Amino acid sequence: QGMEPLHQDSDRSTDHVLLPLIAPYISGKHLALLAGVCKGWRNFLNDSAQSGSIWQAAYNRDIRPYEGYYATVLPEGRRNDARLKYLWYLRRNLLIEPSWKKVVDIGGEQVLGRFGTSSASFMYKGQSAALMFSGWTTEDFVQSDLYMMVRQSETKNNKTTHGLKWLSIHPAGMPPLPAFATSITPFEHPGLGTVFLLFGGVGCFGMPKPCNQFNLLLLDQNNDNDSSEDGPMMEWVHPNLTSAFQEKGTPRAFHSATYFPNKKTGAPRVLMFGGLSDGVPLNTLESVELKLAASSSSNPGDYPHTWHWKQVSTLGTPPIPRYGHSATLCGLDKTKLVIIGGCHCHNLHDYNSVGRELQDVHILDLSKSIPTWSELDMRGFIPMYSLGRLHNAVQVGPQILCFGGGPTSKLTNDVVAVNIYDQTWKQIEMEGQEPCPRQESFMAPIEAGSEMVMFGGRNKKTLGDCYILRLGGFKTREYAFSGCNLKPGYDEAEDQRREERRMKMERERKEREKKEKLRIEKEKEREMREKELREKEQLKLKLKEKLKSKTNKKKKGGAKLGEELLAAVLPGAAATSSANLDEDPEAAYRRMMNSILIRSVMGQYQNGSAHSGGGCSCSKCQQPNMPEMIKALDAEEEEEKPLHLGVKSYGRYPSLSRRIYEAIRQG
């Protein structure tokens, strides 16, 4: 600003002087952006002879201190190129252009859709591979099969395409019993190569319940079977129980299993945390240490295998009991076990729908002599039900990407990045065709961590689709460093659309917060109304009880007096009616009064007092029509005031009271 622009000729002549002077003061991220918008910078940065030292300095400054955060190893083709090496790490650190892509055709074996699988990522002959064991399939049963997913390349018409391929594995030895929601943990042993530890799960042999079955799966990297579609040679091995420990650990399912060797002895060790055991969530930490001795036999299944199981003592406040969480080993020295989310529930049969979702992050520091728990106070916004039960988690550089999860009625397909180093989490805006919300899916990193493959899961039904989550995007033109290529690609319209999407997400987030606040307020108002209604009902019941007690006293008093009147008029009738007084005092009272009235009037009528002359021999006098007499008496108007007989007032039956009194007075 404030300077005259150089002429075009002088601009070209000064690039080789100015750019090397400016470049050391610019971060690698902005160098890549400059290459996308300026031809002079692009020519300079693509010339490895001029810019090699610049990229190496940026790598030493920005990436090298954090190399330990990355769980994967840099591909061999990029280790010697400082520019490609820097950009490869950069796009994982910044999560540049994460995109979804649906895989339409997967080569190799046809795999049934399933959920509740156990997966493990490992390196097979220098390439990324993922192992998938068991799961509840679309045919509504648990299938204890084993598959391996690898990359495949095909060349047609001098054009090479890359895809995914399923290999069916048929290990030797006795396979495990049918179970799903197990854990399978890979680790490298100097004498045995790659070893997979399988533990727990919901056993489907008999009544479904968590089990503690324990198996080893041995992989021979040297003696493979590449010519077959059955994949490499493997073998199931059942380890022996040592005499010192008589238990195999707590039966559990939907737990986490993390490989962390014993620092003192160097023995392979796997840490088990959480899970669901007989309908009870767990927060205990147990370890199993393996002793795999070498043997002179060429068959790996002949090796003796023993193991020790024990509960690990910890300090600090452990996480609340949970299952369906994720556990990731992070840190420069890989000593921080990060526990994220999950669910707190006490129901095995409805494990995927009932209970309370958890959105928290806990760290177990394994570098201390006694492992210590601590909870992180995370900053940022994430959607509801994300990080809930049965989500997937993959470490990408210093961050952990979590996908899906939640209860059946509130499943999500959000991707959340959890950064434990600055204690922040955020929702990632994804490009491409997103998968539907789901839980219990298979997810594993491939291509040295630049891509994650997701398969199956459950969303009201068992799913069998496959997606790839790629960092760097599938459209290389959108960013200069997409696919580790420095190409011009800045698009102002695309940048504006991206900003509009970001603003839309922010508006939706605020709208969700507003709705949630209104929902909470309405819930509080509803609870207050229900409380008031309950108090009113209780008050009504109390008043009703008091009124009922007073009425019963009054009725009992009236019934007693009615009995006295009946005994006075008809001594023989009191004994026959007294048995009913306690059952229904009011009915007994009315029955006595009617009996007294009818008998009195009937007596007068038969004696001729009902006729003026008396001594009439008509049919009415001989057989009086009693219902008509009662109807005539009840139809008379009650003009007189209620009579008081003794201390009780029979105002409720004034006509009866008056006639009873007259009947008694007339003898």
Residue 462 has pLDDT above 90, yes or no: yes
The CA–CA distances, whole Å, from 343 to 274, 364, 385 equal: 10, 19, 10
Ranking 55-69, 142-156, 364-378 by mean pLDDT, the lowest is 55-69
**What is the model's pLDDT at position 171?**
92
What average pLDDT does range 481-486 have in this prediction? Answer: 32
Ranking 50-54, 118-122, 197-201, 567-571 by mean pLDDT, the lowest is 567-571
Band (pLDDT 50/70/90 cuts) for residue 150 is: confident
Q: Distance (Å, rounded) from C-alpha 456 to C-alpha 532?
A: 49
Report the candidate in 245, 244, 247, 225 with the shortest Cα–Cα distance to residue 235: 225
Residue 341 has pLDDT above 80, yes or no: yes
Residue 568 has pLDDT above 50, yes or no: yes
pLDDT digits (tens, 9 = 90+) for 196-238: 999 999 988 767 889 988 888 988 766 655 554 567 889 998 8
Does residue 149 contact residue 129 with C-beta atoms inside 8 Å? yes
Q: Which of 147-161, 292-306, 481-495 has the highest mean pLDDT?
A: 147-161
The CB-based long-range contact list for 487-494 (8 Å cut-off, 24+ gap) reads: 487/36, 488/35, 488/36, 488/37, 488/39, 488/42, 489/36, 490/33, 490/36, 490/37
- Residue 219 has, within 13 A of its CA and on its CB side, a CA count of 23
**What is the model's pLDDT at position 190?**
67
**What is the model's pLDDT at position 58?**
78
Band (pLDDT 50/70/90 cuts) for residue 563 is: low
Residue 440 has pLDDT above 60, yes or no: yes
Helix axes 626-635, 585-606, angle to 10 degrees: 110
Residue 69 has pLDDT above 90, yes or no: no
Q: Which of 51-60, 183-192, 286-295, 627-636 has the highest mean pLDDT?
A: 183-192
Selected residue with higher pLDDT from 603 and 523: 523
What average pLDDT does range 619-628 have in this prediction? Answer: 46
Selected residue with higher pLDDT from 346 and 229: 346
CA-based R_g, the chain, Å: 43
Q: Which helix (H) or strand (E) holds 44?
A: helix 39-46
What average pLDDT does range 385-398 have in this prediction? Answer: 89
Ranking 94-103, 129-138, 166-175, 194-203 by mean pLDDT, the lowest is 94-103
**Cβ-based burial of 444 (10 A; exposed 0-12, middle 13-18, buried ≥19):** buried
Ranking 340-344, 554-558, 627-631 by mean pLDDT, the lowest is 627-631
What average pLDDT does range 653-658 have in this prediction? Answer: 57
Does residue 615 contact residue 608 with C-beta atoms inside 8 Å? yes
Ranking 180-189, 226-235, 306-315, 398-407 by mean pLDDT, the lowest is 226-235
pLDDT digits (tens, 9 = 90+) for 429-439: 888 889 999 99
Task: Give the contacts of 511 (CB within 8 A, at least 6 positions apart).
Answer: none
Q: Distance (Å, rounded) from C-alpha 93 to C-alpha 87?
A: 10
What average pLDDT does range 338-360 have in this prediction? Answer: 88
Average pLDDT of the chain to the nearest whole number: 75
Selected residue with higher pLDDT from 637 and 536: 536
pLDDT digits (tens, 9 = 90+) for 485-509: 333 344 456 656 767 777 888 888 8
Q: Which helix (H) or strand (E) holds 338?
A: strand 336-344
What average pLDDT does range 155-166 have in this prediction? Answer: 72
**What is the model's pLDDT at position 124?**
83
pLDDT digits (tens, 9 = 90+) for 14-24: 677 788 888 88
pLDDT digits (tens, 9 = 90+) for 183-207: 999 988 767 778 999 999 998 876 7
pLDDT digits (tens, 9 = 90+) for 225-284: 555 456 788 999 887 655 444 467 899 999 999 999 988 888 889 999 999 998 889 999
